[in-house]
Amino acid sequence: MSTRVAAALLLLLATFAPTHSSDDLIDKICKTTPFYEFCEASLRPLSPENATSIAAAMATVVLRNMTDTLGFIQSQIRRSRDPAAERALAECAELYRPVVKFNIPQAIDAMRRGDLGFAVYVIGDAEKQADACQKGFSAAGDDDDGSTAALTARNKLLKDLCDLAIAVLKSLMKGG
Ligand SMILES: *[C@@H]1O[C@H](CO)[C@@H](O)[C@H](O)[C@H]1NC(C)=O
Ligand SMILES: *[C@@H]1O[C@H](CO)[C@@H](O)[C@H](O)[C@H]1NC(C)=O
């Protein structure tokens, strides 16, 4: 290989180094969690570039999912004709609303100031709300239109996301 080609390759490598190192950071953090594939799939689309933006991206994924699930619950409440199911759904909405409206946005603000510990606490609490929603909701009994299964799947995804987010945040707190 000629020196000029080698020099050009080096230049090319140097040019792309920032992209590679950010990819490596997501990869590195995800490898420290027990959920590698899920972690990659959740973080990669938001292309966070450093530790701070990885933390914020993780909280954003949880926030979006929970917001989406709250919207789903509200649409189920409007459709429901079973008072027991409707009560359980309304309870889920009450559990999720403050987390979506206040707690997670506050945690994201705290992260921007470098406080990850608060976010770990808030996301741990979000996971408890998902548990509480699921318990109340499954106790209310079955329906016939598949919405029980749909909400169960959403609560499960939320719990998994919270577990992932906590693993990522803890890894970041330890310095990756
Ligand atoms: C919820 O999280 C999953 C897994 O990260 C992601 O694929 C999906 O797009 C998220 N949903 C919303 C509404 O953000
Ligand atoms: C971290 O990355 C985000 C974009 O993902 C950027 O806005 C921010 O300035 C970066 N922070 C540092 C300290 O480089």
Pocket test for ligand 2, best of 25, 44, 46, 52 (most atoms within 8 A of CB): 52
**Could you read off the pLDDT of 102-156 as tens digits, one per residue?**
999 999 999 888 899 999 999 999 999 999 999 988 877 665 567 788 999 999 9
Is residue 76 lining ligand 2, measured as CB closer than 6 Å? no
C-alpha distances in Å from residue 67, one per residue of 146, 168, 176: 20, 21, 28
Task: Determine the pLDDT at residue 108.
Answer: 93
Nearest CA to ligand 2 atom 1: 50
Nearest to 165 by CA among 113, 103, 89: 103
Torsion sign over Cα 30, 31, 33, 34: positive
The per-residue pLDDT of the chain, averaged, comes to: 87
- Rounded to two decimals, the pTM is 0.84
Confidence of residue 173 (pLDDT cuts 50, 70, 90): very high
pLDDT tens for 89-104 read 999 999 999 999 999 9
Ligand 1 — pocket residues by CB below 6 A? 41-42, 61, 64-65, 68, 161
How far apart CA 39 and CA 56 sit, in angstroms, is 14
Fold annotation for 21-173: Butyryl-CoA Dehydrogenase, subunit A; domain 3 (1.20.140)
Residue found by looking up tokens 């004709």 in the block: 81
The residue ranges of every structural domain in the chain are: 21-173
Quick one: what percent of the chain has pLDDT higher than 70? Answer: 84
Strand, helix or coil for residue 81 = coil
Show Cβ contacts of residue 129 under 8 Å, excluding neighbours closer than 6 positions.
95, 96, 99
Query: Which residue CA neighbors atom 12 of ligand 1 most closely?
Result: 65
Sign of CA dihedral 169, 101, 41, 21: negative
Ligand (nearest to CA of 58): 1
Name the residue of 26, 44, 53 to mutate for ligand 2: max ligand atoms within 8 A of Cβ: 53
Which residue, among 106, 98, 148, has the nearest Cα to 128 in the 3D structure? 98
* Helix (H), strand (E) at residue 40: helix 36-43
Q: Which atom of ligand 1 is nearest to the CA of 164?
A: 5
User: The tokens of 72 are what?
Assistant: 């789903």
